[in-house]
Amino acid sequence: MDEDTREFVTPQIEKRQHRRAKLITQVRCEALGREAVLLTRDVSVGGMFVNTQEPFPADSVVSLAYRLDPIAPLFTCQGKVAYAIQGLGMGVMFTDLSEEVRQALQKFVDEAN
């Protein structure tokens, strides 16, 4: 194989700052005068992925309410849509976690991994 026909493969670089854990639970999302009850796919102390056919646009500020399990307290926080994929969902970055919620999320992720 000569130099002109070789393919160079760049390894995938993990850009996430926080470990994630699978979490499938209902989440109430409110943004842009619209409210929806959707399902999460995973969560970290930095954010969550929310499954939806019609995600809010990137950079939208979103109010979230969810539980880590059916008997856990309801957590509420604000987030910002980091990216949106039409027909698939949206990645939401948390912007105002309380210390209590951050610690609960960290414990959840640690125990799941």
What are the residues whose beta carbons fall under 8 Å from the beta carbon of 76, sequence distance 6 or more? Answer: 63, 64, 65
**Pairing of the two strands 26-31 and 61-66:** antiparallel
Residue 1's pLDDT is what?
Answer: 45
Nearest to 40 by CA among 68, 62, 61, 74: 68
Q: What is the pLDDT of residues 51-72, one digit of tens each?
A: 999 999 999 999 999 999 999 9
The pTM of this model reads 0.83
pLDDT, average across residues 22-47: 96
CA 67 to chain CA centroid, Å, is: 14
Domains of the chain: residue spans and CATH: 21-112 (2.40.10.220)
The average confidence (pLDDT) of the chain is: 88
